[in-house]
Amino acid sequence: MKIKIFIVVLLLALLLGLLISLLGTDVNLQIAAYGELEEATSATAIILRDEKTFSASLTGELKTEIAEGEAVPYGEKIAAIEGEGNNISVYADKAGIISYTIDGMEDKEFEDLGEAQTSIDFEEISIDQRHYHTGVDIEAGEVFFRIVDNRSYELIMSLPENWADRFQTGEEVLLRPDDDSRELRAEVKEAVSGENNDLLLVETKDFYDRWLSARRVEIELVKDIHSGIIIPESALFNTPRGRGVLVYEDDDKMSFRTVTVVAETEEKAAVEGLELGTQVVTNPSKISYGRGLD
């Protein structure tokens, strides 16, 4: 008899605990507010420039006339090489920006992004840079400076999986260097998806002096900036009626509201179909949808 009473009491305690748990579920709310949502991702990029390299025609000591990063016109004297019993002067045969940093990728070209996808390992690529300055000895045939066309350059970016499909040729994107707060405008030239990585080719006419000698750079790529009603991504869920949110009404009831998702990230979503100031439930999986559900 005592055992039966114990079992009944235990069952009642379990039921009471379950009931308290259900009734005690917190409803987390957030107001739908007007704001901006950036559709962006971090990316590793390889810079491809229109740049011409120059080799020494004489073995000797280098004497530079133009500083790194300076712009020169056609015909400007760039440097001199003092050899044994012979000296030569080197002149620019094109206008552009001077750089004495050489990495061996100056003449690298790809027929298309498909070729680049099989040729570049963004994780393992090693850039071996050599820096030249007044007083160093150079050998005949050694490349020691380059002239860079600063009017435009291209970047090949490695993107997260499925990102390449988001871009259209000709659309404008923003590039934010990791080491600066400025924004560079760029135009999409090509995008390809792959098993290992997605690649994006863009062209920018915004010259960035810190990239003059860089080849591999880390950037934030901004595809779009959406303005409108912003809610937490956790508020969204799918139903047979479509994707939507639970809206908390003034009479302490909740109703389902379908929305159109314009853009979303892991944390936020820009949506249409909600009024400014609407209270949305941010933990719908914890809520009994039948309570006050229209």
Give the integer Cα–Cα distance in Å for 124 and 77: 38
Give the integer Cα–Cα distance in Å for 119 and 192: 14
Give the integer Cα–Cα distance in Å for 294 and 291: 9
Q: Would you say residue 113 has pLDDT above 90? A: no
The single-letter code of the amino acid at 276 is L
Q: Are 238 and 259 in contact (CB under 8 A)?
A: no
- Mean pLDDT, rounded, for 187-210: 90
> In the structure, what pLDDT confidence band is assigned to residue 244 with cuts at 50, 70 and 90?
very high
Long-range Cβ contact pairs of 15-23 (< 8 A, separation 24 or more): 22/288
Long-range Cβ contact pairs of 21-28 (< 8 A, separation 24 or more): 22/288, 25/286, 25/287, 25/288, 26/283, 26/286, 27/248, 27/254, 27/281, 27/283, 27/286, 27/287, 28/281, 28/282, 28/283
- Supply 175's token pair: 């590039």
Between 103-112, 195-204, 207-216, 240-249, the lowest mean confidence (pLDDT) is in 103-112
- At 152 the pLDDT is 93
Q: Would you say residue 221 has pLDDT above 50? A: yes
Q: Would you say residue 119 has pLDDT above 80? A: no
- At 21 the pLDDT is 42
Give the integer Cα–Cα distance in Å for 257 and 122: 44
- Supply 69's token pair: 């990063």
- Supply 38's token pair: 């950036």
| Mean per-residue pLDDT over the chain, rounded | 86
The single-letter code of the amino acid at 143 is V
Per residue in 25-55, pLDDT tens?
578 999 999 999 999 999 999 999 999 999 9
- At 266 the pLDDT is 87
Per residue in 120-139, pLDDT tens?
777 666 678 899 999 999 99
Name the region of 75 (left: φ>0; alpha: ψ -120 to 50; beta: rest).
Answer: left
Q: Which residues contact 195 (CB under 8 A, 6 or more apart)?
A: none
269 burial via Cβ count (<10 Å: 0-12, 13-18, 19+): buried
